[in-house]
Amino acid sequence: MSQERTIPTLPSIRPITREKGLVLYEDMVLGRYFEDKCAEMYYRGKMFGFVHLYNGQEAVSTGVIQAMRPSEDYVCSTYRDHVHALSAGVPARNVMAELFGKATGCSKGRGGSMHLFSSEHRLLGGYAFIGEGIPVALGAAFQSKYRREVLGDASSDHVTAAFFGDGTTNNGQFFECLNMAALWKLPILFVVENNKWAIGMAHERATSQPEIYKKASVFDMPGVEVDGMDVLAVHTVAQEAVERARAGEGPTLIECLTYRFRGHSLADPDELRSKTEKETWLARDPIKKLAGYLVEEKLAKAEELKAIERRIQETIEEAVKFAQDSPEPDGSELYRFVFAEDE
End-to-end CA distance of the chain: 55
Quote the domain boundaries for residue 30.
Answer: 18-320
Name the nearest CA neighbour of 235 among 154, 293, 167: 293
Measured CA to CA in angstroms, residue 234 lies from 25, 179, 183 at distances of 14, 24, 26
pLDDT at 3: 52
Q: Are strands 201-202 and 197-198 parallel, antiparallel or unpaired?
A: antiparallel
- What's the pLDDT score for residue 79? 97
In a domain, 279, yes or no: yes
CATH of the domain at 286: 3.40.50.970
CA angle centred on 290, ends 123 and 251, rounded to 5° = 40
**What are the beta bridge partners of residue 46?**
none
Q: Tell me the C-alpha distance between 35 and 78, whole Å.
A: 15
Note whether residue 307 is domain-resident.
Answer: yes
Kindly give the parts of the chain with pLDDT less than 70.
1-4, 343
Amino acid at 248: G
What residue type is 274 in one-letter code?
Answer: S
In this structure, are residues 93 and 321 in contact, taking their beta carbons and an 8 Å threshold?
A: no
pLDDT value of position 93: 98
DSSP state for residue 329 in the 8-state scheme: P
Determine the Cα–Cα distance for residues 34 and 132; give it in Å rounded to an integer.
25
pLDDT of residue 10: 82
Asked if residue 72 is part of any domain, the answer here is yes
Domain-located, residue 196: yes
C-alpha separations of 242 from 50, 61, 128, 162, 239 in Å:
33, 14, 26, 12, 5
Residue 46's alpha-carbon distances to 39, 49, 101, 193, in angstroms, are 10, 11, 10, 28
Residue 340: what pLDDT?
A: 85
Residue 342's pLDDT is what? 77
Tens-place pLDDT, residues 20-35:
999 999 999 999 999 9
Overall domain count for the chain: 1
Q: Is 336 helix (H, G, I), strand (E, B) or coil?
A: coil
Question: What is the DSSP annotation of 208-251?
Answer: S---GGGGGGGGT--EEEEETT-HHHHHHHHHHHHHHHHTT---
In a domain, 76, yes or no: yes
- Cα dist from 228 to 20, 64, 231, 269, whole Å: 18, 10, 7, 24
User: What is the DSSP code string of 149-195?
Assistant: HTS--TT----EEEEEEGGGGGSHHHHHHHHHHHHHT--EEEEEEE-
Side chain identity at residue 292, one-letter code: G
Tell me whether residue 7 is in a domain.
Answer: no
Closest CA to 79 of 25, 125, 136: 125
Q: Cα–Cα distance between 263 and 190 in angstroms, integer? A: 24
Answer yes or no: is 336 within a domain.
no
Contact 62, 31 (CB under 8 A): yes
The answer to whether position 343 is within a domain reads no
Widest Cα–Cα separation across the chain: 59
- Which run of H or of E encompasses 301? none
pLDDT score recorded for residue 343: 63
